[in-house]
Chains A and B, each alone.
Chain A
Amino acid sequence: MTDENFPSEMYREHILELYKSPENCGELKNATHRHTETNASCGDEITMQLVVNGGKIADVKFCGSGCVMSVVSSSMLSSKIKGMKVEDAKKLSREDIIKMLKINVNAGRIKCVVLPLYAVKNALK
Chain B
Amino acid sequence: MTINNSTAKKLKDDFPIFKNNKNLVYLDNAATTQKPKVVIEKIKEFYENSNANASRGIYSLAEKATEEYEKARKIAADFIDASSEEIIFTKNATDSINSIAYSLESAIPNGRDEILLTEMEHHSNLIPWQQLAKRKNMKLRFIKIKSDFTLDMEDAKSKITEKTAIVSFVHVSNALGTLNDAKAIANLAKTKNAFSIIDATQSVPHMKVDVKNIDCDFLVFSSHKMLGPAGIGILYGKKELLEKIPPFSFGGGMIKSVSYENAEFAELPEKFEAGTQNIADASALGEAIRYLEKIGIENISSWEKQLLGYALEKLKKMKGVEIYNPGIENSSGIISFNIKGIHPHDAASLFDSFGIAVRAGHHCCMPLMKKLGLQGTIRISFYLYNAFEDIDKLIEAIKKIKEKFGK
Q: Which residues of A contact B (CB under 8 A)?
A: 1-3, 5-8, 10-11, 16, 20, 40-44, 65-69, 106, 108-109, 112
Contacts and interface: CB of A to CB of B under 8 A. Distances in A.
Q: Which 4 A-B pairs have the closest CB atoms?
A: A67-B343, A8-B353, A43-B375, A5-B353
A41 B361 contact: yes
Given A5-B354, A67-B343, A69-B345, 8 more contacts: A8-B349, A11-B349, A40-B366, A41-B362, A42-B360, A43-B362, A65-B375, A66-B343
A11 B350 contact: yes
Contacts of B343: 42, 44, 66-68
A109 B345 CA distance: 8
A1 B346 contact: no
A68 B346 contact: yes
A1 B375 CA distance: 29
B8 interface: no
A113 to B, nearest CB: 11
B319 interface: no
B135 interface: no
A40 B397 CA distance: 27
Contacts of A3: 353-354, 397, 400
A66 B376 CA distance: 11
B375 A6 contact: no
A74 to B, nearest CB: 13
A11 B347 CA distance: 11
Given A42-B344, A67-B343, A20 B407 contact: yes
B349 A109 contact: yes
B354 A1 contact: yes
Given A41-B362, A42-B376, A43-B376, A67 B400 contact: no
Nearest to A39: B345
Contact of A43 (B23, B352, B369, B401): B369
B390 to A, nearest CB: 12
Contacts, number: 73
A6 B353 CA distance: 5
Interface in B331-358: 343-346, 349-350, 352-355
B393 interface: yes
B354 A42 contact: no
B236 to A, nearest CB: 31
A40 B345 CA distance: 13
Most A-side CB within 10 Å, residue of B343, B396, B400, B404: B343
27 contacts: A1-B396, A2-B23, A3-B354, A5-B353, A5-B355, A6-B354, A6-B404, A7-B350, A7-B353, A7-B401, A8-B353, A11-B350, A16-B405, A20-B407, A41-B361, A41-B362, A42-B343, A42-B361, A42-B376, A43-B369, A43-B374, A65-B375, A67-B343, A67-B344, A68-B346, A69-B345, A108-B349
Nearest to B350: A7
Contact of B345 (A1, A8, A67): A67
B400 A8 contact: no
Contacts of B375: 42-44, 65
A6 B350 contact: yes
Nearest to B352: A8
Contact of B393 (A1, A10, A67): A1
B400 to A, nearest CB: 6
A8 B348 CA distance: 11
A11 B374 CA distance: 24
Nearest to A111: B345
Contacts of B374: 43
Contacts of A112: 345
A106 B353 CA distance: 11
Interface string B358-396: 001110001001000011100000000000000001001
A7 B397 CA distance: 10
Interface in B1-51: 23
Contacts of B366: 40, 43
Contacts of A43: 362, 366, 369, 374-376
Contacts of B369: 43
Contacts of A40: 366
A40 B376 CA distance: 11
A49 B375 CA distance: 22
Contact of B346 (A2, A6, A65, A67): A67
B130 to A, nearest CB: 16
Contacts of B23: 2
Contacts of B401: 7
Contacts of B345: 42, 44, 67, 69, 109, 112
Contacts of B362: 41-43
